[in-house]
Every structure is written in structure tokens, then in C-alpha cells.
Homo-oligomer: A and B are copies of this chain.
Amino acid sequence: MKVETIEKLLRDVKENKIEVETALSQLKQLPYEDLGFAKVDHHRELRQGYPEVIYCAGKTVDQVVHIVDMIYKRGSNVLGTRATKEMYEAVKKMHPMAIHNEAARTIVLQQQKIETGKGYIVIVTGGTSDIPVAEEAAVTAEILGNKVERVYDVGVAGIHRLFSKLDIITNARVVIAVAGMEGALASVVGGLVDKPVIAVPTSVGYGANFGGLAALLSMLNSCASGTAVVNIDNGFGAGYMASMINKL
């Protein structure tokens, strides 16, 4: 509800077009629906091509199916993350056009057309084991309306692999760098491009890796400017952040 709407409401009251009670009832909704809080609600509003996101981990198959269906009926595109194969199959029974990205562990159910905007987001990974996290980022960015280029397995131990893809990386509008182990990829990429880099540490590794802590600290301490970090294995968060940046 915009200021103009309130003004109109007041005028309608003045001109006896609506009852005081009706106006009151509408105004009581203000704090969390309209008067400046519209933005609060933005990511739950139904917009064309904009998905609602379900974090499936810790939910039952039935809950997931139910929520997917409810959102679908409201006309929205649906993105489920951290979804199991079992969840997907249950969803598919009801919505045969649901798509499963097994690596990314995502379910996508699209009914609205998605318009991709300017340029593209590039997602680079250090190794093949980082791909599930990268795919979660890719699927997220795509359903949010971005073109995505994938440059996988270009870790710094064989840096020529990275250089052979330099063009595709430096021409992106936003870079997502996904790496486990020591996470050096983010620093090297950050030093090579002049675009924002979203660094995603993964839990790939063992021993003193401590579940991704090594890569996380490495990325937070990156000597390359223009890098910011999301949580370990948080492909969705990286894709979402990159999309927000790309949409500017």
C-alpha cells in the first residue's frame, strides 16, 4: 500500500465512498503488509517468474509435496533445495513437469516464463567434488532469471586450466568461486577479474579441513579485493546473492 493508496482511502472516507469500519480494517493491516513494509514481504510476493524457495532438509516428504503444491497453485515458480530423490519422486507424481537436478539436489517446478537479464554469471569450481554446491548455485541463479556459465574443475594446482578459460570468466558480470580443500581458487580468481566474486567454501577435503573451515578462513582472508563469502556449502546463498547483484 503506497502513500497514494492511503490518501485515496482517506478521501474515500471523506467522500463517504467507503465506511469507516472498512477503512479501519484495511489500515490495521498496514504495519506488516504495506506502509513501508511492502519490501519486507517482497520475497514472498507472487511475481512473474520469481520463485518461492523451499529448504527441504529436515522436512518430511509429505511436507515438501504439500508446500510445493500450495505454492504452485498460487501461480508461482517453485525451487526446492537440499531435496532428496524420494522427495522429487513424490513431487513428480503430482507435478510431472517438475525437474530434478540430482547433483544440485534441487527440484524446480516452473510455470511462469523466466526472463534472463543482462550478461551472465560464471560459476567456477576447484574440483569435481565441488560440483554439487556449484550446481545448487547455478539452478538458483537460473530460476531467478540469470544466464549461467559453468567452468568446473579449474583448481589452482593446475593453474593453466584456469587460464584457458580466462575469457569466459573475465567477461562475466558476477563470478561465483566454489572450492574446498584450501579454497585458494577464490583469491586467484579475485586477482584476475575486476567483477564482484562470491566465494563459496565447500566441505570437500579431510583431516585439518575441519568440514570446510580451512576453505572458509582462506576465503575470508583472501588477499584479493572484491571478494565476499557465504556459508560453507551454501550454493543457494551464492546463487541468490549473485542474482541480486546481476539484477542491479
Q: Point out residues on A near B: beta carbons under 8 Å.
A: 3, 6-7, 10-11, 13-14, 16, 20, 23-24, 27-28, 30-33, 35-37, 39-44, 53, 57-59, 126-129, 155-161, 163-164, 166-167, 170, 173-174, 181-184, 187-188, 190-196, 198, 201, 203-234, 236-238, 240-241, 244-246, 248
Contact A32 B233 (CB under 8 A): no
A53, A173, A188 pick with most chain B CB within 10 angstroms: A188
Q: How far is the CB of A161 from chain B (nearest CB, A)?
A: 8
Contact A233 B217 (CB under 8 A): no
Q: State the copy count for this chain.
A: 8
Residues on B with beta carbons closer than 8 Å to the beta carbon of A174: 248
Residues on B with beta carbons closer than 8 Å to the beta carbon of A244: 194-196, 226
- Identify which of B28, B156, B216 contacts A208 (C-beta below 8 A): B216
Residues on B with beta carbons closer than 8 Å to the beta carbon of A234: 206-207
Residues on B with beta carbons closer than 8 Å to the beta carbon of A39: 166, 170, 192-194
Q: How far is the CB of A158 from chain B (nearest CB, A)?
A: 6
CA distance A151 to B159 in the complex (A): 20
CA distance A59 to B153 in the complex (A): 14
Contact A194 B10 (CB under 8 A): no
A187-B182, A220-B214, A222-B182 are contacts. A40–B159 as well, Cβ < 8 Å?
yes
